Structure formats: structure tokens, C-alpha cells
Structure 1
Amino acid sequence: MMKKSIIWVSAVLLMMVFGCRNHNRMAEYQRKIDSIKKAETTKAMLPVPDNREPLTVFFDSLSMIALPLHYTPEFVEYLPQMTPVPKLFNSSMGCEGDQKLKAAILPPTPHFNMVLLAERMDSITPPTLYLCVFDHDNVMQDRLTIYERADGDLNGEIGSMKLEYSVTSRYEVTLMRFFRSDNKPDADFEWKESRKFHINREGHFEEEPADL
């Protein structure tokens, strides 16, 4: 009887020893799993380095204006969806001075990125609008003035000139020039000419032959 008791106690102790070892192994395994999960969580929380060029980051932050695009007095006055351009990018936009610029992106073509740019000299003068072509490295290839107001003369007559625009979804651009004589300040602007442009393979605006 005593011998059986000793054997039973020994078996229990042996099971306790192995159980303890297994528990320790399981605890160690769980600690490793928890450590891996913590490392992965910490890595996921770290900010991803942004290696993009500053101009690319700025363009990516802009709102996109849908095409087609047609002149309206309201758009020119309020420039909705357009964002102020930091002055450090003025030269990239083809402006060498301290002009106040605003920009928005337009739907890209297969080969070029398109930007609508507004240049305002002061709070009173109407802005000038440009349609800009950039390559995929965001280097400007060309820009076309599509809206402006200016004083000038037509056939020796002094007056005000206005350029209006229409841009299709295929970037077929029509520019319409209007004139109002200073001798008729209350008269409406009179249409004088229309010109049509498209973007060629080099990313330059190319004027189409005038309709005969």
C-alpha cells in the first residue's frame, strides 16, 4: 500500500513538473507573439516618409475642376475651388514676380497634367486665367492665356479688351476677343474674333487654321 502511494505521489509530482514546464513554454511563446504584434502595430503607426517633390505634394492637394469649362462672370470673380499658390512655386508657374496666384487641377490627358492658374495683381483688377500644361515630372511645357481684361487700341481706337474662353473635355480651346470703345463706355462689348487651339504631342498649344 505504501509503495502504491509513493508511486502515485511521484506520478503527480512528475505531471506537475511537466505541466509547469509546458506552462512556461506557452507563456514564453505568448510573450513572443505579443512582442511581434506590438512591433507590427508600432510600425504601422509610424508616419510613412513622403519622398514626393514639394510641387507634386502641392498639386496633389488641389481640387479638381471638371470639364467642359466655359467663361462665366461669377467664376472669374470668385475663383471657386481654386487654392492660393505659395510664392516659392511662382517660378514653376511661369511667374517671376510676387503675383498672387491661385490654382486648381483639371482632368489630365494621357500624356500631360493640366492646371488652371489665376493671376491677380491686386484686389481690384480682374484676374488673368491661364491654361497650363505640365509633364508628369510637373515641369511646365506651355501655358495659354484664356481670360484677361486690358486696355488697348483696335485700329487706332482706344478702348477695353476682354478675352473669354471655352474648353471642351478634349481640350479643344476656343478664345473669343471682345472690344468696347472708350467713346462708348455704356455700350456692350463687341465680338471681334475667335481663335481655336489644341494641345500637340509636345505639350504645346497649337492654333488651328481660321475657318474660311
Structure 2
Amino acid sequence: MQAVMRKITICLTIGLVMLMVSCGHKKHDAAYYEHMVDSIRKAEQVKDIQLKAGITDEDPLETFFLKIGRRLLPLQSEGSHWQRIGEFTEVPRVLNEHFGYLSATELDILALPNAGSHQVVLLVEKIDSITPSLYLYTLDDRHKPIDQLCIYEEKSEDRAIDFGKSYMDYYITSRWEITLMKYYRSMDDEKPILEQTRAYKIDKDGKFEEQIIEL
């Protein structure tokens, strides 16, 4: 219904502009009014693109977050095969800034169960088709980011006596106990070495709080 009303409005506006030209409205030349009509049409095209992405003028964030995919915990690392985790939703480029990214960055998002009163989402930053990075974001009731935690990434490392790759793995329990493991794999050895383990929980303020690991 809103789309129909917008089309009626734009047709009436364009018609009014053309009437002003035909009636000899001489304050501006014909090129000015042609530019005005073109601007109206472009604005309408932008609105159509936003609607297809699930964004409306009323509340863009609320509309988008109602449409994103969801999954339950526990959650175990799938490495770089993040698509296996669940049905992610592509983040419209116009919303990238909300998460602190430039519009050129490709992002996908998946909603997870709340941690207390805070919403939690899993955000995939697709640097390229091979090396994605995964982040947990805590959000307030207006979907504004509170804190973030990187739970998966890959990096090439040129060490003093070796060259290889470091990467992270993770496990998240249904009680929001987060365990992160950092591994290193040498180019000369297929077996990865566990170099670091860290544990986190989400505190009452929505912050990721590191925990002491008892040996």
C-alpha cells in the first residue's frame, strides 16, 4: 500500500512540475525542472532499493533486525566455513556504519540468544572469499553496539625461524561461556599447535569480561 501511495505521489509531483513549465512559469528554465524531476525519480529508486533490503523510513534498524536469521546455543567453531553455522542475513551497505564499518565492507549477521537483557549477534566480516573474520556483538535495546569480541580470524605469520598461519577457534555454551583457542600451523608441519586459550563471559553491562582459567 505504501509503495502504491509513493508512486501516486511521485506522479502527481512530476505532473505539477510539468504543468508549471507548460503554464509559462519563467522563474527557472526547462533544464531546471528536468533536473528536479530526475532528482525525484532517483530518490524514489533509492527508497525502492531500501525496501527490498528490509529498510523502511519508519525505523530502519528495527525493521532489519526483525528479519535477520537466528540460531540457538551451544555453538562450536566451523573454521572458515561460517555458512554452516546458520542462515546469515546480508547487512545492507547503508547500515554498515552502525557497526563501525565503511560501506564497501561486506557483512553478514546472525542473531543469537540474548545474554541477560542484552541482544547478541554474530557478525561476519568478509575480507575476501577465503579469510572471513567473525565477531560477537552485544547490543542494547535500540540495537546500538555495546561491545565486540573477535572469535575467529586467520593470519599469515612470518616468524624468526618459521613461516605459517595462526587462526582462532571457539566454543560457546548455552550459558554464554565463551572459550577461544589460538593455534599456529607451520608450513612444514600439518599438525597445528595450541598456543593460547582464553575464556570470556558477558557481564551485566553487556561487556565481554575475560575469566581466569583454572589449570
The TM-score with structure 2 as length reference comes to 0.67
Structure-to-structure mapping, 1:32-181, within 5 angstroms: 53-73=59-79, 75-76=81-82, 80-96=86-102, 98-123=104-129, 125-153=130-158, 157-181=162-186
* Root-mean-square deviation (Å): 2.2
**Percent same amino acid at aligned positions?**
32
Letter in 1 for 2:170: Y
Q: Which has the larger radius of gyration?
A: 1
Q: Is the 8 A contact 1:77 1:126 kept in 2?
A: no
Q: Residue 210 of structure 1 aligns with which residue?
A: 213
Q: Is the 8 A contact 1:104 1:115 kept in 2?
A: yes
Query: CA separation in 2, counterparts of 1:198 and 1:130?
Result: 14
Match of 1:130, SS state, is strand
Call closer, same or farther: CA 1:165–1:52 in 2, change over 3 Å. Answer: farther
Q: Is the 8 A contact 2:134 2:151 kept in 1?
A: yes
Q: Residue 198 of structure 1 aligns with which residue?
A: 201
Which 10-residue stretch deviates more, 104-113 or 74-83?
74-83
Q: Is the 8 A contact 1:76 1:126 kept in 2?
A: no
Letter in 2 for 1:204: K
Give unpaired runs (5+ residues) of structure 2.
1-55
In the TM superposition, what is the alpha-carbon distance from 1:96 to its structure 2 partner?
Answer: 3.0
Give unpaired runs (5+ residues) of structure 1.
1-49
In the TM superposition, what is the alpha-carbon distance from 1:75 to its structure 2 partner?
Answer: 4.2
Letter in 2 for 1:151: S
User: Aligned pairs, how many?
Assistant: 160
Q: Is the 8 A contact 2:93 2:104 kept in 1?
A: yes
Which 10-residue stretch deviates more, 154-163 or 63-72?
154-163
C-alpha deviations, 1:134-162, integer Å up to 9, x for none?
A: 00011100111011111125676432001
Q: Residue 33 of structure 2 aligns with which residue?
A: none
Match of 2:71, SS state, is coil
